[in-house]
Amino acid sequence: MELVLKNPDAKPPFIGVEFPRHWKAEENKDLVLLHADKDYSIVLEIMNNHVNLKLDCEELKTSRFYAKLDFKPEHLKKWLDTAYSNEYVNFGHVLNENGSHKIIRLTEQNKVFVLKVSKIETFSNGEKYEPGIRRHGITNGASWSLM
């Protein structure tokens, strides 16, 4: 699985997980079907050759984990710089269809798998970066490097 980062025009930045099959991408669909209106946060644990993503909802007292995602370090750094200037980002599940990422629609209720995220924390090889500048809700790491 792979970490997907997008900066679509006229929309909030997007962070998601690419799945190999549609049935697998419906994992955690209860969050969209029952709790799409809730506020979510993401913790990114950046390792040397992969990233672990934890999706949290404090109100629901629940966490969902996406482990050992492939990623491009420079792309992530650039995306985070962009994300920090937004009030929120979107998180979702995608499939790669003919070289293009498509957000999945759940079989049940035909809803897109997208959740609103208002906080992102980053760790690199176990070291937490303290929150620095706070702009519009996304917590910015004071200073960090991916390697």
The pLDDT score that the predictor gives to residue 80 is: 87
Place 99 in a pLDDT band, splitting at 50, 70 and 90. confident
pLDDT (tens digit per residue) in 26-55:
999 999 999 999 999 999 998 888 999 999
The pLDDT score that the predictor gives to residue 95 is: 94
Other CB atoms within a 10 A radius of the CB of residue 137 amount to 15
- Cα separations in angstroms, 95 against 19, 21, 63, 101: 6, 7, 22, 6
- Cα separations in angstroms, 53 against 70, 90, 99, 100, 119: 11, 14, 23, 22, 13
Q: Does the pLDDT of residue 138 top 50, yes or no?
A: no
Mean pLDDT of the chain: 84
Dihedrals phi, psi of 13, to nearest 5 degrees: -55, 155
- CA-to-CA distance for 131 and 137, rounded, in angstroms? 11
By C-alpha distance, which of 57, 69, 68 is closest to 15? Answer: 69
| pTM for this predicted structure | 0.84
Portion of the chain with pLDDT greater than 90, in percent: 61
Quote the Cα angle for 75-81-82, to 5°. Answer: 90
